[in-house]
Amino acid sequence: MLRTATTALLGAGAVTLVLTGCGADEGADVVDLAALSLRMDEAQAEQGSVHVETTFAGELAERTGMTESAQSGDVIVGEGLEDSAFAMSIGAVGTELEMILLEGTVYVDMSALSGGEVDWVAMSADEVAQDPTFAGTMDSMLAMDPAGQAEMMADAVTAFAHGGTEELDGRTVDVYTMTLDPTRLEAAAGAAPAAVDQMDDMTAEFRVTEDGLPLAVDTTVEIDGQELVTATTFSGWGEPVEIEAPPADRVTDYGELMG
């Protein structure tokens, strides 16, 4: 699934799904994070595609200008890196970065960052994971795969509960709430690794349809006394998505660029 592609990009190994503490309403179909992750993974694979949007709020987002940032993209969910794909736009403080994953290659639009000297750069998954310039984009890629995001959170969970149901976009969704220990996260959602030690407890809410499709994931974390809320929504499950590579004459190989 897309989680395979994301894990490769992050340069991380498989994460064992282990709960350090959990609780759930009696009779709920999903009673732990392992079950939730698997349920979403199977539903995502069946649909095959989705549109994703992410926004930021809270005191920390306001102070750093992140409230002006937004991320959006279309995702094709495949069995692995080679047959997964996405086209995403990351807007931050007046700058917009375009990224495409197709057939195992990541294309990054560097025209704005390079002042027009370089157009698109083609990178392997390893090159993306190892380049510190793109460290902040890895969490954005992970957020596009809620099942994979849940998997990455597994070892950090200190409490898990089914919080009942509510209506979202005309559908009934189950709400799953978890508390996490940020120091035990392999990749802290929405924050640089250096900031992890400054975090207090982190919470995440997954809103999932009865057939396992995630419609929203919200994470909240307090960093140095200021709150950061990351809200991601998922829509258009199963709708046709077409993702194309940039024209070859506008693409520079990463190895050639780095000399």
What does the pLDDT average to over 4-12? 39
Asked whether 120 and 108 are in contact (CB, 8 A), the reply is: yes
At residue 159 the predicted structure's pLDDT band, cuts being 50, 70 and 90, is very high
Q: pTM of this prediction? A: 0.80
Number of Cβ atoms within 10 Å of the Cβ of 240: 8
What SS3 state is found at 9? helix
According to the model, what pLDDT value does residue 135 have?
56
Give me the pLDDT at residue 166, please: 96
pLDDT of residue 113: 67
Among 20-24, 58-62, 241-245, where is mean pLDDT lowest? 20-24
**What is the pLDDT, as a whole number, of residue 186?**
54
Instruction: Please indicate whether residue 153 or residue 55 has the higher confidence score (pLDDT).
Output: 55
pLDDT of residue 189: 45
In this model, does residue 75 exceed pLDDT 50? yes
Q: At 134, is the pLDDT very low, low, confident or very high (cuts 50, 70, 90)?
A: low
pLDDT bin (cut points 50, 70, 90) of residue 9 is very low
pLDDT exceeds cutoff 80 at 205:
yes
At 121, which amino acid appears? V
Total Cβ atoms within 10 A of residue 35: 16
Question: 3-state class of 28 per DSSP?
Answer: coil
**Each residue of 18-41: pLDDT tens digit?**
222 333 343 345 667 878 988 999
Q: How far apart are CA 51 and CA 240, in angstroms?
A: 10
- Strand, helix or coil at 254? helix
Which pLDDT belongs to residue 12? 28
